[in-house]
Amino acid sequence: MTSVFAHVIVPVDGSVTADRGVALALELTAGGGSITFCSVVDPTVLCIPEAEVGGLDFGPLLTALDEDAEIFCREAQAKSVAAGVRADVVVLHGQCVGVIEQLAKDNPCDAVVLGTHARTGLDRMVLGSVTEGLLRSIDTPIVVAHQDDEVRTGPVLVAVDDSPAAAAAVSEAIFIAASRGNALALVHVMHPDHPDAAGANPVLERAAREAGERGLAVSLLLRRGDACNELIAAADELESCMIVMGTHGRSLVPRLLLGSVAQAVVERARVPVMTIRRSGRVPRPASVRISKTVAGIHA
């Protein structure tokens, strides 16, 4: 099996959740890839009003945070060395989302891989989420691992529609499936009121042709209903090992009003999820066998 990614960036903070991201990154870079582990020290979290601390010197605390960040990175690097994957480390300073995004711009990579608790509800809205912030802003593909992800060996599932982001997701999913030796499942979810209840779907057909040209075993699924619910259900039914989907990376207020399928899938899935706003990588040729194509309708 060849490396899925040539180079990824992996934020670490010493948590069990971050460790899940490290483990997934090692899996995806095994066979020739490399990793940059980063840990972020955000001085703004120490901005307590002076009246409450009596002019306390925060220098020693910042030094301690720097030392901890270095330890987190070196521990992850040691795991990488043990797994035979090349890795370097960097400690960043600033607000988490911004400095990780800048690192990805300055050091082009195939993806940012990170673990998440997939928090929901008021705590995320008030406290913010690094994962959510990156999904919203960064152009680099994001791969999210959850602490309780299941280990599955089924197809790579990709959400298909007629958007440019989905087209990039299809190309990336084809490359991942070929690199890992998995089949590919193409899923298109129609609105419940959509008039086309059956028959050939041009969006799926185009994606299937692209996958077939790469020699992949392909299944086609045409579903009807809520997009997030149907994608999660399809992934569970097929025992999919990963979900890949495009996202428009909409800003906070429109997403809160209209909802975000990508964010909802990231929160609810229990397999890794890759989201793509645009792809900067040209997939390498694959040499996998093609088999049957299956079409299905879910009412």
The residues pairing with 159 across neighbouring beta strands, listed in sequence order, are 187
Angle at 251 between CA 247 and CA 255, to 5 degrees: 75
pLDDT at residue 291 in the model: 30
CA distance 219 to 234: 11
**pLDDT means per 10 residues in the chain (299 residues)?**
90 91 96 96 66 59 90 97 97 93 94 78 48 85 92 94 87 92 92 60 82 88 92 97 82 44 89 81 38 32
Find out whether 179 and 32 touch, Cβ atoms under 8 Å.
no
Q: CA of 223: how far to CAs of 140, 186, 220, 236, 263, in Å? A: 29, 11, 10, 14, 19
For tokens 């990588």, the residue is: 281
Domains and CATH numbers, the chain: 1-149 (3.40.50.620), 150-299 (3.40.50.620)
pLDDT at residue 138 in the model: 87
For tokens 């090992």, the residue is: 241
pLDDT at residue 51 in the model: 47
Beta carbons within 10 angstroms of residue 226's beta carbon: 16
Find out whether 220 and 160 touch, Cβ atoms under 8 Å.
no
pLDDT at residue 58 in the model: 62
Q: Across the beta sheet with 218-224, what order do the strands follow?
A: 86-93, 34-41, 7-11, 111-116, 142-146, 273-276, 242-246, 156-159, 184-190, 218-224, 297-298
CA distance 263 to 131: 9
H or E, element range at 36 = strand 34-41
Of 120, 182, 184, whose CA–CA distance to 146 is shortest? 120
pLDDT at residue 131 in the model: 84
Beta carbons within 10 angstroms of residue 58's beta carbon: 13
pLDDT at residue 294 in the model: 34
